Structure 1
Amino acid sequence: MPFPDESAAVAVADYQPLWTVDFEQLAGTLQGALGDQARAIDHVGSTAVPGLAAKDCVDIQVLVDAIDENRQTALLAAIGFRCRPEPWNRAEVSGGQECRKLVFAPPVGARRSNIHLREMGGPNVRFALLFRDYLRADEAARLAWGAFKKRLALSVSDLIGYGQIKAPATAVLMMAAERWAAETGWQPAPGHAA
């Protein structure tokens, strides 16, 4: 759920090249705060896919050896990031396995973002990278996914409703992504495995 300062209707915009610049700036800030705890920092989600329409919210995946909620929350809180308290922002099921995670909102007034801390080698890490790489590689899927999200945002303006409708559609998209991965031999980039 968004914090009070994040309350805005869902809007899906055409791809913005500035999203990559915003990611790079945020990645540098996160690396500085987390130091050697951040094993990899990746731009994930729709803003990481050139040509894909997306909500203007940069998703970043930070890989750590292990989730240490107290320590990592304190490090990010020191630079204004806020740990999202909802259960779905603490764990997720991916590949049939429950995976721990932490999701952080940006400092009040800062650029909209979601910072996902995940453990190295987890199936949820693979999921995020496969989503991104599949949509980068398949133009038809990218255009269809963007059109779906734009139509959905016009019909459902609240974030919770938008997410609830998008979740089963994402599962269908990921079935196609898994076929693509099997056909192409796709694997996560080196350094993303346990």
Structure 2
Amino acid sequence: MPFPDELGQVVVVEYRPEWPTEFEQLAGRLRQSLAGLAVAVDHVGSTSVPGLPAKDCVDVQVRMDSIDEVRDIPLLAAIGFRCRPEPWNRMEVSAGHHCRKLVFAPPIGARRCNVHLRESTGPNARFALLFRDYLRADETARRSWGAFKQRLALSVPDLSDYGQIKAPATEVLMEGAERWAAATGWQPRDV
């Protein structure tokens, strides 16, 4: 759920070429704050896919060897990031496995983003990378997914409702992504 200073309505905009640069700025701050604890810092989510309409909120995945709330929350809080308290921002199911994670909101007044800390070998980290790489590679899937999100945001602008409707559609999208991964021999990379 958004913090009070964050917008609650979903607006999907056309792809913006500045998103990769904004990710790099965020990634640099996170690498510095996590002082070598991050295995990799990835630009994930829709803003990481050139040509894909998205909410203007950069998603960052920080892959860690392990997640330690006692260590990780204060490290990011020291630079203003706020740990999202909801249970779904601490655990997610991916490939049938319960996976630990932590999700952080940006400092108040900073560029909108979500920072996802995930264990580097977890299926949820793989999921985020596969989502990105599949949509980068498959133009038809990218166009269809973008059009779906635009229509959904127009008819269901409430963030919670939008997310509940998008979740099962994402599972359908990812079935295609898994077929693509098997056909191409895709493996996650540190990019």
TM-score normalised by structure 2 residue count: 0.98
Give unmatched runs, 5+ long, in structure 2: none
The residue matched to 1:6 in structure 2 has which SS?
coil
CA distance in 2, matches of 1:129, 1:39: 14
Partner of 2:77: 77
State the Cα distance separating 1:173 from its structure 2 match. 0.1
The amino acid that maps onto 1:188 is P
Partner of 1:60: 60
Residues 1-194 of structure 1: matches in 2 within 5 Å? 1-189=1-189
Structure 1 runs of 4+ with >2 Å offset: none
The amino acid that maps onto 1:15 is Y
State the Cα distance separating 1:7 from its structure 2 match. 2.7
1:157–1:49 CA distance, 2 compared to 1 (3 A): same
State the Cα distance separating 1:190 from its structure 2 match. 5.4
Q: Percent identity?
A: 72
Give unmatched runs, 5+ long, in structure 1: none
The amino acid that maps onto 2:155 is S
CA distance in 2, matches of 1:8, 1:89: 17
Q: Give per-residue Cα distances to partners, 1:101-123, cap 9 Å, x unaligned.
A: 00000000000000000011100
TM-score normalised by structure 1 residue count: 0.97
State the Cα distance separating 1:8 from its structure 2 match. 3.4
State the Cα distance separating 1:126 from its structure 2 match. 0.6
CA distance in 2, matches of 1:8, 1:18: 23
